[in-house]
Amino acid sequence: MTKPGKRAKAMAVGDRISGLPDELLHRILFSLPAQDAVRTCVLSPRWRHLWLSARHLNVSTLGFTGEVRFAQFVNNLLLRRGHAPLDTFCLRAEGPHILFDNIRDTANLWIYHALRCNVQALSIADHDLYEEGETEDILRTFHPDRYSFTSSHLKRLHLHYVCVSNCLIKQLFSGCPALEDLEMNDCDITATEFSSTTLKNLSISTVGFSVTKDEEVDIVINMPSLVSLCIGALLCTKPSFINMRSLLTASIHSEQTGFEFVNGCSILRAFSNARNLTLLHVGPMVGKELLGNEILFHQVVFTNLTTLSLNEWCLHNSCKALLYLLRHSPNLEKLTLGLSEVGALIYRRPELSGNFAVKINPCCKGTETPFYCQKLKKIEITCPKHDKRVGVVVAILCANLISLPEINIKPS
């Protein structure tokens, strides 16, 4: 730490930034690419060696035109730092001219070094590059060395354009017992089983699971401590969620029709303790599949649910899935229903979608006794202009809810 006398002297000559505490100066350094952080050594005597003890490193390819120069810089940077403790280490490829997978062995040594420095938050972000294949373009992703991931300090891991295999996931969860947050964006995920007793937050988005069109894959997520789950583009046919008793927030958002709920009832049951639930773009047949097994379906009660977000998948068969969720969510306070332009077009011209058009019976008066949603305060519907489905949905709600809450209709 800087002595008070030196700090006061720096402020006396007008260098107010140098008079700030080390912690704030380290935050300033972290906001800079590592090469700029190193250059701060010429600002004043106070800054000369400050970067060597910075606990946050932001290593970016920005400003480098080749992999050799970049690798030399990072090697020298880490060598000069030695084994000084690290809290955060970010490794980012900013453009296609430098790919970590091209210098895989060297990049893996950097990751190993960061983990040996007891890093708590690690981010690895390669750049996207598609190579021409026999039938389609193939996404190249960085292949991390799974054996590097042995750390009792790592709590947060963010992966971007990284190959995630079964071996990596098993090593990650067994070798990093303190890991709580795992985020995977645009990753090539070949892993099929995710089992962790410590993970609290899991986010998977965009590219998702790597499977062929004719391949049936069972994806198992078994995480009893998980609090937040966010999944987009889960391209698998049989997802299975086990031991989700701690889950408070769940979001399934996929624009891919490859996402299917083969057993929608069991999946809903896994989310039954959630307080906030979002189910969007989950395939055109989901509403029918959810009603496929009446016994399982009627066992699911969402006792803790307070906010629910859906889209047009729940409109199948005169909104039966929507009505079921309303009936079995006694503490629900807000419902958000998003209707798309494509869905509105299909409703007007069902021949465009073949057998996948959403069927809504405008004359539906409800097949069960009307019910109360005592705590439901607001229903918000976002939709295209002149979407005829809105009136039908509101009519169905009027026929089934004894007391309607406030309904707001907003253009999408």
> DSSP letters of 314-348?
GGHHHHHHHHHHHHT-TT--EEEEE--HHHHHHHH
Give the range among 3-7, 210-214, 373-377 with minimum mean pLDDT: 210-214
**Does position 369 have pLDDT exceeding 70, yes or no?**
yes
Closest CA to 44 of 90, 9, 71, 78: 9
CB 63 within 8 A of CB 97: no
Q: Assess contact for 368 and 310: CB atoms under 8 A.
A: no
In the prediction, which pLDDT does 401 show?
A: 93
Can you give the pLDDT at residue 50?
A: 75
Mean pLDDT over 201-211 rounds to: 72
How distant is the alpha carbon of residue 206 from its chain centre?
Answer: 9
pLDDT at 250 over 50: yes
Mean pLDDT of 182-199: 92
pLDDT value of position 281: 66
360 vs 126, which has greater pLDDT? 126
The helix/strand/coil state of 54 is coil
Whether 139 shows a pLDDT value over 90: the answer reads no
Residue 94 has a pLDDT of 86
User: Please, which pLDDT band fits residue 132 given cuts at 50, 70 and 90?
Assistant: very low
Of the pLDDT bands very low, low, confident and very high (cuts 50, 70, 90), residue 359 is low
The per-residue pLDDT for 255 is: 56
**C-alpha to C-alpha distances, 357 to 50, 278, 313, 347, 348, nearest whole angstrom:** 63, 22, 10, 7, 10
DSSP 87: S
Per-residue confidence (pLDDT) for residue 405, from 0 to 100:
94
295 has pLDDT over 50: no
pLDDT score at 262:
44
pLDDT at residue 325 above 80? yes
Tokens representing residue 354 in the block: 């073949």
pLDDT of residue 347: 78
**What is the band of 253 on the pLDDT scale with cuts at 50, 70, 90?**
confident
Q: Are strands 138-140 and 129-131 parallel, antiparallel or unpaired?
A: antiparallel
High-pLDDT (> 90) share of the chain, %: 46
Confidence at 158, pLDDT banded by 50, 70, 90: very high
Inter-residue contact 170 to 143 (CB < 8 Å): no
pLDDT at 33 over 90: no
Select the highest-mean-pLDDT range: 105-119, 179-193, 254-268.
105-119
More confident of the two residues 372 and 254: 372
Q: Round to the nearest angstrom and report the end-to-end CA distance of the chain.
A: 54
**What's the confidence (pLDDT) of residue 335?**
98
Q: What gap in Å lies between CA 365 and CA 362, rounded to an integer?
A: 9
Task: Give the whole-angstrom CA distance, residue 308 versus residue 333.
Answer: 8
Average pLDDT in the chain:
81
Q: What angle do CA 19, 24, 29 make, to 5 degrees?
A: 105
Distance CA 234, CA 257 (A): 10
Question: In the structure encoding, which two tokens stand for residue 301, read together?
Answer: 């009660």
Distances (CA, A) of 338 to 240, 315, 321, 323, 390: 26, 11, 15, 16, 10
> In the prediction, which pLDDT does 268 show?
79
Angle value at C-alpha 315, between 310 and 321, nearest 5 degrees: 75
Q: Residue 306: helix, strand or coil by DSSP? A: coil
Return the minimum-mean-pLDDT range out of 64-68, 275-279, 352-356. 352-356
In this prediction, residue 103 has a pLDDT band, given cuts at 50, 70 and 90, of very high
With H, G, I as helix, E, B as strand and everything else as coil, classify residue 393: helix
Q: What is the pLDDT of residue 408?
A: 96
Bridge-based pairing of strands 218-222 and 238-242 is: parallel
Are residues 120 and 154 in contact, defined by beta-carbon separation less than 8 angstroms?
A: yes
